[in-house]
Structure 1
Amino acid sequence: MAEGTEVEDRVDLDDDNYMEEMDDDVEEQIEDGIEGGGDENVEEEYEDPKAGGSGEDQLLEVDESHIANEPLKDEENPTASIDEDEKEKHAQLLALPPHGSEIFIGGLPREALEEDLRDLCEPIGEVLEVRLMKNRDSGESKGYAFISFKTKEIAQKAIEELHSKEFKGRTIRCSLSESKHRLFIGNVPKSWTDDEFRKIIEEIGPGAENIELIKDPQNPSRNRGFAFVEYYNNACADYGRQKMSSSNFKLDGNTPTVSWADPKSTSDHSAAAQVKALYVKNIPENTTTEQLKELFQRHGEVTKVVMPPAKSGQSKRDFGFIHFAERSSALKAVKDTEKHEIDGTFLTPRLSEILNEGQDYARWG
């Protein structure tokens, strides 16, 4: 089945809420302790009812000597409890089906129930979950569903058997689910080695199967400041994404940019495939950021406009950066048919190499 056909099928099914539904599913999978810190029940204080009076100092001295020679019990060692909680969460994430074991079924009749889909799929192999997508307001079926099997092999077999099959008077369409399991990580310290980066990723959470720190072709001893991490399944990837998106998380002082990466099967899975910004030249001297935003937002939502300050002793720079919410907007803006003019001057936009907020804009001068 062609990939383009699958995309068209999903558009026909009115599945604009597809990724929103997927996010909800991930939240359901990792709730009840998978996502939280897990230490709210740890006792931080311990009171000894026997301590006190004139002999308190002597009692404390004896206890310290005892502690120095024997390990703390679990209930007296909060760190040990936290570690156990983390191990349990990781085990729960890894117990979920691997990426590639979930299929998409479209073209379903509106009256089809989850029980009907389970009956349809169980003869093929063990079914772990059936999710029939429904309208949140009306509760009516959207005409498509996701089926999780125990293995990737069973899922592939189901696609072969179910695609174009007649089901309750309708011809259904079946393909591999596009659940995301690959992250793009920007603003990585360029001096880091593969081993240093791998150590951090593996400490964050489980399931990192392929860690790709992109090397600088001009200087093999350094990286280009970004990486891709492919996980065992969507739940593991989302767990890592949320951990690294925390305001307290740093990479040797750098705040990383963490987002879902395009599938590795695309023709260009390098950093260029993640760029959503434009580098714009020939900007007239008195142009404001508001003017640039108004000019370019016809292509899509503009999230940020950056005009680097001039160097000492120089006039204002004639270039800037336009950040879009979607890559498709940036691609549209650089088409040959698109013209951008301010006060009779034509601007020259092209795709930028800016991949994160912490990158040095001045180097473009």
Structure 2
Amino acid sequence: MEGDGGGTLTEDRTLESPNEAALLVLMEKTGYSMVQENGQRKFGGPPPGWEGPPPPRGCEVFVGKIPRDMYEDELVPVFERAGRIYEFRLMMEFSGENRGYAFVMYTTREAAQKAIHLLDNHEIRPGKFIGVCVSLDNCRLFIGSIPKDRRKEDIMEEMTKVTDGVVDVIVYPSATDKSKNRGFAFVEYESHKAAAMARRKLIPGTFQLWGHTIQVDWAEPEKDVDEETMLRVRVLYVRNLMITTTEDTLRQEFSRFKPGAVERVKKLTDYAFVHYHCRDDAVTALRLMNGALIDGAIIEVTLAKPVEGHPYGLPACPPGWGASTWDPVNAVTTEVTVKVVVMVMKVVMTKVVVMVIMMVMVNVVETVNVVVMVNVVVNVVVMVNVVVMVNVVVKVVVMMAVIYDGDDEGGSDGEFGGDG
């Protein structure tokens, strides 16, 4: 077995671990090669007879909770049940044990999805259950704390100077001043490796752009949505709106080509979702409205990517609610109302109960001291309940501020179908 520096497992090597004989048998049977380098062992990549580029994004799954003494000779046959494997990468320790996780790239997305359905929570050994989920090679970094007066071209120029493989920079304009950015950007790299190298160079926290110490981290990967689902989408995601633009204005602008085509509009800060009755009308509006000028702002329009259980991509639809009727802002308002009403009822009931006790005690004892003492108790209880009520209201107001926040330094939009 070759060391961590690199090499290929071949038949003429002296067998140095209990499973090497089984690995050689697996290689002979499948025709795949096996190379160990940089703390991982690659089986395949490409497989025998493969022609053309590697499989597209969405073909790889992540496998966790693998027993540390389990290797490709046992794992590969299990994962071959889902489809043809392009590459199997098992993470390795210097000791020869695996690190408990691996990446399996299939030749098709369908095989990767099948592997998730078949093998997630699969009992790989008695009492040992593995976890399988989709793996995305993230090629995008989040760059925070950048000057708000810098344009996309400025950021692109600087990032190209200090890192390699930059292919694009995504900047969101401020919700209140379209000539400024929001204090952050996303930098797209040509590969996951290029992004990882850039992050390693920038992450210490001492790197500066234009005299500002920037924040660097992985951007939240954009979730892939299968093509079949996207073909049914009839909701448009509209970005870069003015804060003052109303839902009525959007309804009017997005139905100019066909009055009555818009089913409903939901606007949140500087972005919105426009729902159409018909998919074809949504596609037509996408073509006509992307890049249009509304209230002085050039808007960006894309098909909205569905988030499971929710049409907007904000708080998920709770169990028992229809996604089409779930509104996050109304939900927050309802929560405020319910909590305040409950708290008021508690205050009233507490005072009633204490007053009844006070009347009973006065009738029995008939002393001024008892009356004063009970009054003090009542007032203390009421004050405690009022403080709790105010605390609830403050927490809910903060929660609503988070939902509506669109201009935080170094924050992301939390947008449905966005680039963050």
TM-score by length of 2: 0.35
Q: Which has the higher contact order (CA 8 A, sep 6+)?
A: 1
TM-score by length of 1: 0.39
Pair member with larger Rg: 2
